[in-house]
Each structure stands twice: as structure tokens, then as C-alpha cells.
Amino acid sequence: MLAHSHWRTWLLLLALVFASIASAVVHKVKKGETLSQIAGNYGVTVESIKRANGIKDANKIRLGQRLEIPGGEQAFFEYTIKPGDSLSEIAAQNGLSSRQLARFNGIRNVNKIRAGQVIRIPTGDKAKSHPALPASIKASLDKTRIKSGKWRYIVIHHSGTLRDSAKGMDRYHREERRMENGLAYHFVIGNGKGMGDGEIFVGDRWKKQIQGGHLSSLKLNQISIGICLVGNFEKTRPTSKQMERLEALVAYLADKAPISFRHITTHTTINTNPTVCPGRYFPTSQFKKKFEG
Ligand SMILES: [Zn+2]
């Protein structure tokens, strides 16, 4: 009898150890994060993080450092699955991969979710997984009331020219191509030649929430947000500033529109007529991976 109760004590202890391992949250420090932000995100104190990680100076945390968040349950909110929802779309809209979301909810088969099911969506560091937009651009974008459900795709283009500006393209589209709404894209991102490197131009078509003129299909133009990067990526690569700003812009749009990461695409991928746009040196799969998580 005595031996038996020992076993039970042992099992209980083992279970406790595993439970605490399983619930330990580890946070990887991202660019610009402070310890108090991280603590706030997980609903724990700065002191407890410092203690658990042997940190003496709260200002001395480094990019990429892995912090144990003691007693830190990952913060989450609850979401009720609606008919037609897919786990990957819910995940994308929350800056997660479907794998992360499935793991967080103990879901084995990502295709087996049902309407009415309540899942937990982890919060905490999702907003910081992409570079931030410059404050002035974000403020200007926040002014536009996005037509809910209108936009289904984000389509990336290059200008095909080494030097260009939104102004120049607007003139070309208006005068040569006879487009009454001018600039065919919703956004242009400069490369430092003709426009600032990484400078985001917000076009009228976006402000007015009207269709683009960047694809050959009228139907696709009506549901696709067009972003043009200045440059000829058949000859050169986009600048790193351009790629950083593109990621920030796409993250913002995908979140607000909202658009599934599967629908973040390029001209050549979506177009019905053959085109090389946005060029062989545009890092399509690398870029898309940033949104898959
Ligand atoms: Zn194009």
C-alpha cells in the first residue's frame, strides 16, 4: 500500500513538472521592444521577467534574446468560428501561421474546424512581427475608410523603369494610356531615383477606394490592391528599404482589409496575360513567407 501511494506522489510530481514546462512561455525580443511593453503584453510584471531571466538592468535586453515569461500565460482572445471560415485565414488575419494557431488550440487537423467552435487567438506580439509604417503614412492611411470586403488581393508590381516617381507614372497613365483616374496603382514605393528610397506614395485610387488599372482583367482590378515598386527587377533587386516598407504596407493592408496571406501575390502570378512583372529579382517566395509565419 505504501509503495502504491509513493507511486501516486511521483506521478503527481511528474505531472506538475510537465504542466509547468508546457505552460512556460518564451518570448523572442523584437526590434524596438522594451521590457515593460513585453510584460504588459503578457500581463506580468517587469520584475518577474527580470528575476526569471537574471536581468539586472531592464534597459539591457537585446534583439533576438529569448525571455522566459514566468507564470506567463500567453494572452489571448476568444473567437467563434463562422460558417465558411478557414483556420489559415483566421491565422493570417491575426499575423499567425495556421500551424501556430492549431498548436495553440490543440487542433490536430487544421481542416477540421466547425462553425460555432470557440478558438483562442494568441495576442501579445503579433503587431510587432512586421516592420512598422512611418507614423505620417500610418496616420494618412488611417484616414481612409476601407470598403469592407471589397479587396481580396494585394498585387505587387515593378515599374519596369530604373528611375520613376508616382507623379511621372500618373502623368503617363493619364495622358498616354488615357486612364481617367490616372495612376493605375493604389500605392507606389520609391527606390531613391525619382522618389525617396522606401518612400510610400498613397494614390487617389486608394483614398477614393476605387478599382485599380494595373491588371488586364477588369474583374480582378475591382478586387485587387495594386502596389508598384519603382525599379526594373529584371535587371536589379529592389532596395532593402523598399522591401521593408512593402512589408509594413502589406501587413497593414492585410490586417485592415482584411486579406488572407494566400492572396498576397504578384502581377505575373495573378495575371491572365503573360508578364514578367515584378521581375525575376523580386524575392516573391521569400516575401510571402513573412506572412505565412
Ligand atoms: Zn505589373
CATH number for 57:
3.10.350.10
pLDDT (tens, 9 = 90+) of the chain, 293 residues, equals 555 657 676 766 555 545 444 445 778 888 888 888 787 666 677 888 898 888 999 888 898 888 888 766 666 777 889 898 888 888 877 777 788 788 888 888 888 889 999 998 876 554 447 888 999 999 999 999 998 889 999 999 999 999 999 999 999 999 999 999 999 999 999 999 999 999 999 999 999 999 999 999 999 999 999 999 999 999 999 999 999 999 999 999 998 898 988 899 999 999 888 999 999 999 999 999 888 75
Q: How far is the CA of 278 from the centre of ligand 1 (A)?
A: 6
Distance 91 CA to ligand 1 centre (A): 28
Shared domain for 142 and 252, answered yes or no, is yes
Distance CA(14)–CA(11), nearest Å, equals 5
Q: In terms of domains, do 124 and 141 share one?
A: no
Q: How far apart, in whole angstroms, are the C-alpha atoms of residue 213 and residue 225?
A: 10
Residue at which a domain ends, from 69, 86, 114: 69
Q: 93, 128, 163 — which closes off a domain?
A: 128
| Residue 238 belongs to domain with CATH number | 3.40.80.10
* Residue ranges making up the domain that contains 241: 135-292
Separation of CA 180 and ligand 1 centre (Å) = 19
Contact between residue 149 and residue 258 where contact means Cβ atoms under 8 Å apart: no
Span from the CA of 148 to the centroid of ligand 1 (angstroms):
25
**Distance from the CA of 228 to the center of ligand 1, in angstroms?**
7
- Same-domain status, 175 and 62: no
> How many A from CA of 216 to the centre of ligand 1?
10
> pTM of the entire structure?
0.60
Residue 289 CA to ligand 1 centre (angstroms) = 21
Q: Are residues 107 and 238 in the same domain?
A: no
> Which among 239, 287, 292 has a CA at the least distance from the CA of 265?
287
How many structural domains comprise the chain?
Answer: 3
Same domain, 121 and 166: no
Give the C-alpha separation, 248 to 250, whole Å: 6
Q: What totals of helices (H) and strands (E) does the chain contain, helices first?
A: 12, 9
- Considering the domain architecture, whether residues 33 and 141 belong to the same structural domain is answered as no
| CA 160–ligand 1 middle distance (angstroms) | 8
Q: How far is the CA of 251 from the centre of ligand 1 (A)?
A: 20
Residue 147 Cα to ligand 1 midpoint, Å, equals 23
Residue position matching grid coordinates 494557431 = 101
Cis omega before residue 278 (within 30°)?
yes
Give 196 Cα–ligand 1 centroid separation in angstroms.
20
Same domain, 148 and 286: yes
* 97 CA → ligand 1 middle, Å: 28
Q: Do both 256 and 185 map to the same domain?
A: yes
Cα 258 to Cα 78, 94, 152, 194: the distances in Å are 18, 10, 8, 32
